[in-house]
Amino acid sequence: MGYHHTSEIAAQLENASLEIALAEWRTVLNPANVITDPSLLHSRASATFSTGQSIPAILKPRSVAEVQQCLEIATRLKIAVYPVSTGKNWGYGSGVPVSDHCVLMDLGQMQQIVDFNEKLGYVTVEPGVTQAQLHAYLTERKSKLWMDATGSSKHCSIIGNTLERGFGHTPYGDHFGQVCSFEVVLPNGELLETGFSRSAGVAGAPVYRWGVGPSLDGLFAQSNLGVVTKMTLWLMPAPEYFEAFFFSCDDESALGSIVEALQPLRMNGTLRSAVHIANDYKVLQGIQQYPWQEAGNSVPLQPDLMRTLRLRLRFGAWNGSGGLYGTRAQVAEARRLVRKALKGRVHKLHFLNEKLLGLAERYSKFFRFVKKIDFRRTISLVRPVFGLLRGVPTERSLASAYWRKRTPPPSSMNPDADRCGLLWQAPLAPAEGDHAERIASLARSILLEHGFEPALSFTLLTERALICVIALTYDRDTPGEDQRASSCFKQLTKALTDSGYMPYRLGIQSMDLAGRDASSAGLVRAIKAHTDPANILAPGRYQRVK
């Protein structure tokens, strides 16, 4: 993976330029923020799958001015730089650059929340602002606004996730759809602002995305055209009343019918949030590690054992969750419509508010002691999902990266250092039952065939589109497993793209899918050549190399 430098002379010249650049960077940054310690470089070059890239240095700018100066030096000396916000892009490459020999620019220390407006519901953040930080900020102010959160760690960056067009669970779950006014440093160090921010003193900049003239925001997501140093995101007003619903269905062939039942409700606005449907493997990964003993130490977890486990732990072949938001009357009507739509298609359907969830948690203790049935594990998954539907970030789902590990997840989880194996593939499709069925069937047969569990979730992210997230989870400490996972991933990607299902985002392991369409790729290439003629910024990221 990456660029290979053929000539030794070129390599020597590059090293000499790097030494000059390091000396210059040490004059503009605090020298402690120019890191060349080999062990730190090595740890930042590891991901949740095998990578070969080396990182010659790490820069940790603390301000926009420092970012500008660092990039001006990089462009002048032709040193490749790869920006990350918190670098926790697990399953897609973590913080590892796409190409070899890129200096990592870690923006995690730029952690200011620079603007906030309760009435109009927006906040402007720097790249190091994490989900936990924004959530604490809103809580401290007793704000009546909700953020959206992903199921990844609380310590992930809001900007990093949005630039990948990541998603969460609330009505504001499609992150790139809720942002505007980017401040961007171009590779030559120039500063650019988008939307109305590009004209000084325009009052509407944080509340209106387009400005006048061509909209530039899209150029800076899933691209390598600039370093985003500020972004405004909109926050949703907390509804008067909120209820979550959870359903499960024991019939393995019910996915298409469930999608068909829910899509019209998503389309007509009854369901405003991203409804999530997970299969049994995905739920099991969320509540425990691989049942090594019961599986006789063999992998993959066979469908018949999976069936036994889901009956014992009381979840379905398909398991869904979503939120209802509005006044009490609106929620009551939405509840009626969801119930009607799912009637005869699912086996269990529960609506939960905070009070009922508290009771269910207590009830699970009663069942455990009196009836000897243990609901704790399934309930333990309900609480974090309930929180995510209200934009409360959680550390809970990260433990699923440790699914195949032989030891329990540590209290401070670091899937890269702990050698968790994880590759995501996330195909996008029209929100229709047939498409969901086809993706599920492809993923299921390919993963099982290669010795991995097909852990799948389908999210009705918008009114019209669904995203399937396929987790290929393994243990990097098992000999040969990195290689097997990689060939499974390649076959899966080929089967999905051949069937018309492109991923909604690419990891560093699949950047070769970028820029397949010649005309738009040509325009993007021309813009890149204009703003970054030396191709120093994140070479290879969402960019066709040849």
Ligand X SMILES: Cc1cc2nc3c(=O)[nH]c(=O)nc-3n(C[C@H](O)[C@H](O)[C@H](O)COP(=O)(O)OP(=O)(O)OC[C@H]3O[C@@H](n4cnc5c(N)ncnc54)[C@H](O)[C@@H]3O)c2cc1C
**In angstroms, what is the minimal distance from the CB of 329 to ligand X?**
31
**In angstroms, what is the minimal distance from the CB of 278 to ligand X?**
12
Question: Which residues 48-67 are close enough to bind ligand X by CB under 6 A?
Answer: none
Any contact of residue 167 with ligand X (CB under 6 A)? yes
Pairing status of strand 428-430 against strand 179-185: unpaired
| Binder among 55, 79, 163, 338 for ligand X (CB under 6 A) | 163
User: Do residues 447 and 295 touch, judged by C-beta distance below 8 A?
Assistant: no
Angle, vertex CA 166, rays to CA 456 and CA 440, nearest 5: 20
Complex with ligand X: residue 269 or 410, whichever CB lies closer? 410
Locus of tokens 């999976």: 306
225, 68, 85: which is closest to 539 by C-alpha? Answer: 225
| Binder among 91, 323, 421, 503 for ligand X (CB under 6 A) | 91
**In angstroms, what is the minimal distance from the CB of 408 to ligand X?**
16
Any contact of residue 84 with ligand X (CB under 6 A)? yes
| Binder among 89, 473, 493, 510 for ligand X (CB under 6 A) | 89
Complex with ligand X: residue 226 or 433, whichever CB lies closer? 226
User: Do residues 271 and 265 touch, judged by C-beta distance below 8 A?
Assistant: yes
Complex with ligand X: residue 270 or 319, whichever CB lies closer? 319
What binding mask, one character per residue, do residues 101-130 give for ligand X by CB under 6 A, x or -? ------x-------------------x---
Question: Which residues 504-543 are close enough to bind ligand X by CB under 6 A?
Answer: 538, 541
The count of chain residues that interact with ligand X, using the rule CB under 6 A, is: 34
User: Do residues 420 and 472 touch, judged by C-beta distance below 8 A?
Assistant: no
Q: Which stretch binds ligand X (CB under 6 A): 84-92, 269-277, 357-365, 521-529?
A: 84-92
**In angstroms, what is the minimal distance from the CB of 91 to ligand X?**
5
Evaluated on CA atoms 288, 291, 294, 299, the torsion sign reads: positive
Any contact of residue 88 with ligand X (CB under 6 A)? yes
Complex with ligand X: residue 334 or 398, whichever CB lies closer? 398
Distance separating alpha carbons of residues 95 and 105, to the nearest angstrom: 10
Question: Which residues 366-405 are close enough to bind ligand X by CB under 6 A?
Answer: 397-398, 400-401
Question: Which residues 284-343 are close enough to bind ligand X by CB under 6 A?
Answer: none
| Binder among 150, 178, 194, 535 for ligand X (CB under 6 A) | 150
CB neighbour list of residue 74: distance below 8 Å, 6 or more residues apart: 21, 80, 81, 103, 187, 536, 537
CB neighbour list of residue 291: distance below 8 Å, 6 or more residues apart: 301, 305, 309
CB neighbour list of residue 164: distance below 8 Å, 6 or more residues apart: 89, 92, 221, 222, 505
Any contact of residue 159 with ligand X (CB under 6 A)? yes
Question: Which residues 208-267 are close enough to bind ligand X by CB under 6 A?
Answer: 227-228
| Binder among 87, 206, 387, 427 for ligand X (CB under 6 A) | 87
Distance separating alpha carbons of residues 438 and 429, to the nearest angstrom: 10
Complex with ligand X: residue 53 or 152, whichever CB lies closer? 152
Complex with ligand X: residue 60 or 341, whichever CB lies closer? 60
Helix, strand, or coil (residue 230):
strand
**In angstroms, what is the minimal distance from the CB of 225 to ligand X?**
9
Complex with ligand X: residue 106 or 433, whichever CB lies closer? 106
Complex with ligand X: residue 378 or 394, whichever CB lies closer? 394
User: Do residues 51 and 93 touch, judged by C-beta distance below 8 A?
Assistant: yes
Q: Which stretch binds ligand X (CB under 6 A): 11-19, 157-165, 339-347, 450-458?
A: 157-165
The crossing angle, in degrees rounded to 10, of helices 255-267 and 328-342 is 150
Question: Which residues 414-443 are close enough to bind ligand X by CB under 6 A?
Answer: 422
Distance separating alpha carbons of residues 168 and 32, to the nearest angstrom: 36
Evaluated on CA atoms 170, 174, 180, 184, the torsion sign reads: positive
| Binder among 156, 466, 472, 485 for ligand X (CB under 6 A) | 156
Task: Count Cα atoms within 13 angstroms, Cβ side, for 537.
Answer: 31
User: Do residues 273 and 173 touch, judged by C-beta distance below 8 A?
Assistant: yes
Binding site for ligand X (CB under 6 A): 83-91, 95, 107, 127, 150-152, 156-157, 159-161, 163-164, 166-168, 227-228, 397-398, 400-401, 422, 538, 541
